[in-house]
Amino acid sequence: MSTVETSRSGSVAVVRFGEPPVNSLGLATRQALAAAISAAIADPGVSAIVLAGRNGTFSAGADIKEFATGGMITAPNLHDVIALVAGSPKPIVAAIEGTCLGGGLELALGAHYRVAVATAKVGLPEVKLGLLPGAGGTQRLPRLIGVENALNVILSGEPVPAKLFAGSALFDALVNEDPAGAATTLAAAKAGELAGKAPPRARDRSAAGPLVEPLLGFARTTAGAAYAAYPAPLKIIDALEAAATQSFEDGLATERQLFAELMVTPVSRALRHAFFAERAASKIPDVPESTPVRPIASAAIIGAGTMGTGIAINFLNAGIPVFLLEVGKEALDKGVARIADTYAGQVKKGRLKPADAEARGKLLTPTLSYDDIGGADIVIEAVFEDMAIKEKVFTTLDAVMKPGAILASNTSTLDLDRIAAVTKRPGDVVGTHFFSPANIMKLLEVVRGKATAPDVLATTMKLARTLKKTAVVSGVCDGFIGNRMLEQYLRQALFLVDEGADPAAIDAACEKFGFAMGPFRVSDLAGNDIGWHIRKRRALEHPDVVYSKIADKLCELGRFGQKTGGGWYDYKPGDRNAYPSKVVADLIAAHRQAIGVTPRKVSSREIVDRLVFALVNEGAHILAEGIAQRASDIDIVYLTGYGFPVFRGGPMCYADEIGLYAVALRMRELARNPYGDPGFWTPAPLIERLAASGGSFNSAGARP
């Protein structure tokens, strides 16, 4: 609930505003703030005003939720409130602590003086939402810190400590604590000094300078190339140019116009969707945030391979002691060396202090014996992806782990309920599917088995935050959310090769769409043998699912990817570039001949539609089955784990943006192609239903 309170300290009115949790400036707050400031201005007993936030923070800016509803323009809008502050005949001092971002900083820039706690985080992060600061930030900030500094602040969007601006006109004083107290003292002093004269305003300063045009010209060239898919950076530069070349009022109008243009772009919609999607992912409707969690003060990892060591590093980084268990000494030593190498590399690059690397290394206890690990609070199994092996490991864990320990599996595809069933404590079993490299990738799929206890789930979600991961809950199914969808994407990629598209053309089309890497480059990086192994299992379990045979033929040549010096592409030692392969070209040509396909030209549009809509259709099944809690969780899985372009908001958001009616229509068009799996392009019932009602995945009611 929004609250604004005014108190008095002598003749200074201290106006404190707050709307938990981040003091965003929604309509209720703006109304109350405008009323409180107007009252203080009108009060003859008030000589100056202090503007402060509540709950230890100034403001995170405009209420982003209002952007979708249009509530942000309802009067008094942020411009009205800032104009009221800036136009006050009595000096107004902003007292800044905690975070002061976006519209929050713009409000502070409207004040005549600013006092900040040196460690307060200030910034204009609108660019991360595909926007620019639209409440005067592009006009006032360069007038206070210069165009070049303003460009850095606004283009990066990164919050930085207030002390970085020491000595600039942005802050009149930096303090260690009690900014409201310091602001009150300053306000009283300024009221005396000014003696009724108009207080200074940022708008009266100039941002013009001889170097501004060349600087902005350079910025345009680099931003245009570096952020080609993002419209905001170039418009930010335009707005800053207006600050330097136009009157304040005209510059403000330019900024408003550019802001309005950005607000309606699909990129901004996608980025705003991603912002809320990331925060929604941590919420589990039937596991309230008040659910008690189990303490996690130590961990054990079973398996010292690439995955196990990557997972171990996450815990070590978080200061949690780890037992690393392997069955053979050689494999264990290799795993320990891999962890040491990772830290040594970070020290060499200056990313980690040697003392910190040493401290983290000391938290690691390698072991060959299950007897050592029984006291750990959580154990994560990261052994070979084979049900029989996993069942054996879990039977042992059930015997050795202390009561209350969480038993987690890093399985990426297997049935967690079967794994849990071999233990006498299935409620303690959960899936923690890390993505490779596990110490770098942000995504963690938390797999909820049918017996997983609520407190185990709550603890795992909390642990994910401690490990700095973005956790998404998935129900149990083959491949969970991410890999189950990926299977359909890869099946299409291979059908496309059969039909005439070369791996390089497919990768190029995907990368142009915005994927970090196309499917063949990714497979070469991850190891083509992984998919081969999964296809062999799937062929036994689901013999009806049709696959192209081309990937198997590649694996039969031992071309597992980068690690074997060749996969879909050729690789040179010490060089990460992928080179076209004559062997692969011949293999594909012979394969097409063997299956009797005359290659045809496949357009980039067809490539992208087939790959992305394969994800979307499977995503719709996953949503309807309740495997994913919400469509936006699927988007987060693809944004954080699979390199889906952030500016498209994830596959489900992308489909919503196109419109599900158009998506279903295109699927029916694709179904006319007789090659591959004839049933592939039957739109999921959820898509049909939403398409018929004009609904979308991300709107309420997408679940049956």
Q: Which residues on adjacent β-strands are paired with residue 15?
A: 6, 51
Instruction: Report the relative pairing of strands 575-579 and 299-302 from DSSP bridges.
Output: unpaired
Question: What number of H helices and E strands is found in the chain?
Answer: 28, 19
Judge contact between 319 and 402, C-beta under 8 A.
no
Looking at residues 101 to 120 of the shown chain, list those that interact with ligand 3H9 (rule: CB under 6 A): 101-103, 106
Looking at residues 429 to 468 of the shown chain, list those that interact with ligand 3H9 (rule: CB under 6 A): none
Residue 134 within binding range of ligand 3H9, rule CB under 6 A? yes
Select 22 or 406, whichever has its Cβ closest to ligand 3H9.
Answer: 22
Instruction: Output the six-digit token pair for 671.
Output: 């179904």
Among residues 19, 66, 97, 126, the one annotated as catalytic is 126
Considering only 91, 110, 133, 645, the residue that binds ligand 3H9 (CB under 6 A) is 133
Q: Which residue is nearest to ligand 3H9 (CB)?
A: 102
Least Å distance between CB 28 and ligand 3H9? 13
Residue 96 within binding range of ligand 3H9, rule CB under 6 A? no
Alpha-carbon gap, residue 481 to 477, rounded angstroms: 8
Select 163 or 338, whichever has its Cβ closest to ligand 3H9.
Answer: 163
Residue 53 within binding range of ligand 3H9, rule CB under 6 A? no
Residue 668 within binding range of ligand 3H9, rule CB under 6 A? no
Alpha-carbon gap, residue 405 to 427, rounded angstroms: 11
Least Å distance between CB 133 and ligand 3H9? 4
Considering only 78, 443, 578, 639, the residue that binds ligand 3H9 (CB under 6 A) is 78
Residue 251 within binding range of ligand 3H9, rule CB under 6 A? no
Residue 284 within binding range of ligand 3H9, rule CB under 6 A? no
Least Å distance between CB 485 and ligand 3H9? 25
Among residues 106, 499, 618, 657, the one annotated as catalytic is 106
Residue 101, CB-side half-sphere exposure with 13 Å CA sphere: 22
Select 22 or 380, whichever has its Cβ closest to ligand 3H9.
Answer: 22
Residue 27 within binding range of ligand 3H9, rule CB under 6 A? no
Considering only 2, 58, 63, 480, the residue that binds ligand 3H9 (CB under 6 A) is 63
Considering only 3, 39, 80, 279, the residue that binds ligand 3H9 (CB under 6 A) is 279
Candidates 125-133, 325-333, 465-473, 532-540 — which segment interacts with ligand 3H9 by CB under 6 A?
A: 125-133
Candidates 64-72, 454-462, 585-593, 647-655 — which segment interacts with ligand 3H9 by CB under 6 A?
A: 64-72
Candidates 94-102, 173-181, 224-232, 396-404 — which segment interacts with ligand 3H9 by CB under 6 A?
A: 94-102
Alpha-carbon gap, residue 441 to 250, rounded angstroms: 45
For residue 374, how many other CB atoms are within 10 A of its CB?
Answer: 15
Select 160 or 477, whichever has its Cβ closest to ligand 3H9.
Answer: 160
The length of the chain in residues reads 704
CA distances to 437, 487, 509, 513, 560 from 505, in Å: 26, 20, 6, 12, 20
Considering only 126, 398, 656, 657, the residue that binds ligand 3H9 (CB under 6 A) is 126
Select 67 or 227, whichever has its Cβ closest to ligand 3H9.
Answer: 67
The DSSP result for 520-587, as a single string, is HHHHHHH-HHHHHHHHHHHHHH-TTS---SHHHHHHHTT--BGGGTBSSSEEETTEEEEE--HHHHHH
Sign of CA dihedral 204, 210, 212, 213: positive
Instruction: Output the six-digit token pair for 413.
Output: 């595809």
Burial of 43 (0-12, 13-18, 19+ CB in 10 A): middle
Judge contact between 180 and 95, C-beta under 8 A.
yes
Instruction: Output the six-digit token pair for 7.
Output: 């108190």
Considering only 53, 91, 110, 125, the residue that binds ligand 3H9 (CB under 6 A) is 125
Alpha-carbon gap, residue 667 to 617, rounded angstroms: 9
Candidates 60-68, 445-453, 549-557, 632-640 — which segment interacts with ligand 3H9 by CB under 6 A?
A: 60-68
Residue 154 within binding range of ligand 3H9, rule CB under 6 A? no
Select 21 or 574, whichever has its Cβ closest to ligand 3H9.
Answer: 21
For residue 219, how many other CB atoms are within 10 A of its CB?
Answer: 21
Task: Give the interface size with ligand 3H9 as a residue count (CB under 6 A).
Answer: 25
For residue 294, how many other CB atoms are within 10 A of its CB?
Answer: 18
Residue 122 within binding range of ligand 3H9, rule CB under 6 A? no
Q: What are phi and psi of 73, to 5 degrees?
A: -95, -10
- Per the annotation, the verdict on 106 as an active-site residue is yes
Residue 142 within binding range of ligand 3H9, rule CB under 6 A? no
As a three-state string, the secondary structure of 428-487 is HEEEEEECCCCCCCCEEEEECCCCCCHHHHHHHHHHHHHCCCEEEEECCCCCHHHHHHHH
Judge contact between 560 and 525, C-beta under 8 A.
no
Instruction: Output the six-digit token pair for 63.
Output: 């209420």
- Per the annotation, the verdict on 625 as an active-site residue is no
Least Å distance between CB 439 and ligand 3H9? 22
Candidates 41-49, 63-71, 666-674, 689-697 — which segment interacts with ligand 3H9 by CB under 6 A?
A: 63-71
Select 129 or 611, whichever has its Cβ closest to ligand 3H9.
Answer: 129
Alpha-carbon gap, residue 551 to 588, rounded angstroms: 10
Instruction: Output the six-digit token pair for 482.
Output: 């991410």
Residues 6 or more apart whose Cβ sits within 8 Å of residue 454: 286, 287, 291
**Active-site residue list:** 106, 126
User: Which residues form the interface with ligand 3H9 (CB under 6 A)?
Assistant: 21-22, 24, 60-65, 72, 78, 99, 101-103, 106, 125-126, 129, 133-135, 137, 276, 279
